[in-house]
Structure 1
Amino acid sequence: MDTARLVALIAATITTGWMSGLFYGFSVSVMPGLKRSGDRTVIETMQRINVAILNGWFMLGYLGALLFTGLALGLHVPSGAPDALPALIGAFVAYAAAMAVTGLVNIPLNNALEQAGPADRLDDAGAARVRQAFEGRWVRANAWRAVLCTVALGFLAWALVLYGRGA
């Protein structure tokens, strides 16, 4: 049981770190770089990213972070180590909130971007409208995901410290 708790906690920390890094990377490099690009470039690039990101490694991180955090939490409840529980609950709630932002804002925006069709078939006004409807909301929501995942990662790091202390 002790090994299972540690493995689940490490897996939760790694996968949450992946997601925190992914969303942070978009916030500080991908989206600022695209902001300096033309409308069609933004649309086409994000359409391609939205397809490419749906792969096993992404899913391992995205779903794994929630599942491993939930598993670590579940394994800590009966362990008699209540000190780590608030950190694990905090991590679970923060990551679940990041997933909620993704489901409520980012995915619908990605779907609307895809429904706009190929960027090279949009006239200038149409491309500008599609970009305007997408970019600002997506960037703000992604910043929230980055913050929430970083908070979850901080909680998991604290849970690891408590675990190491024998909590």
Structure 2
Amino acid sequence: MRSLTIPLIFLSLLLSAAIFGFFYAWICSTMWGLDRADPRTAIAAMQAMNASVRNAVFFPAFFLTPLALGAVALLLWGTQRGPGQCFAAAAVVYLLGGLILTMAVNVPMNEALASVAIPEEPAAAARIWQDYSRPWQIWNQIRTAASGIAVLLAAYGTYLLDRHAI
């Protein structure tokens, strides 16, 4: 079992840290930068980024993180309940606060923005961008926090491991 558990622990930590970093980068650079740009440019850039994010590189971190965390939880549950519970909690926190939140809130907002024709008038573009950016950033902060908590729970579960029992 050790030959499967240890690699899955590392994979789950890597994936959960990757998705946390992805969401975090939107907070501290991408959205702040777009908010300072011409709103027409911000809309066009966000439309392009949202269209490009659906790719094979993004897929594992976004979709497979709860599966990897859950698989570790299942492998540990019978022999190491405390660490197994941490990984299970991490899976649930990311699943609800990261993946499902994104699919239920951020993706529909992104799709609505994708359907917008960028207006020539700067004031009209500014209204569109402001109506999109502020709420999108609030929801992104929530999914970033959830993803960060998932990383911490997985790290704590790893810390609690009885290495001799794996």
Q: TM-score, length-normalised on structure 2? A: 0.91
Q: Counterpart of 2:148? A: 150
4+ runs deviating over 3 angstroms: 121-126, 164-167
The yes-or-no answer on 1:162 pairing with 2:160 is yes
Instruction: Give the alignment of 1:30-69 within 5 angstroms.
Output: 30-69=30-69
Supply the AA of the counterpart residue of 1:102: T
- Secondary structure of the residue aligned to 2:33 is helix
Question: Contact conserved, 2:80 with 2:162, CA < 8 A, in 1?
Answer: no
Q: Counterpart of 2:86? A: 87
Supply the AA of the counterpart residue of 1:130: I
Give the drift of 1:131.
1.1
Out of 129-138 and 13-22, give the one that drifted further: 129-138
Q: Counterpart of 2:4? A: 4
- In structure 2, distance between residues paired with 1:147 and 1:134: 20
Supply the AA of the counterpart residue of 2:26: F
Instruction: Give the alignment of 1:69-80 within 5 angstroms.
Output: 69-78=69-78, 80=79
Structure 1 gaps of 5+ residues are none
Q: Counterpart of 2:27? A: 27
Q: TM-score, length-normalised on structure 1? A: 0.90
Give the drift of 1:9.
1.4
**Deviation per CA, 1:16-62, whole angstroms, max 9, x where unpaired?**
10000011111011111111111111101101111111111100111
- In structure 2, distance between residues paired with 1:15 and 1:49: 21
- In structure 1, distance between residues paired with 2:109 and 2:76: 37
- Cα 1:59–1:161 shift into 2, 3 Å: same
Give the drift of 1:71.
1.1
Q: Compute the RMSD of aligned alpha carbons.
A: 1.6
- In structure 2, distance between residues paired with 1:39 and 1:104: 25
Give the drift of 1:103.
1.4
- In structure 2, distance between residues paired with 1:47 and 1:113: 7
- In structure 1, distance between residues paired with 2:63 and 2:121: 38
Aligned residue pair count: 164
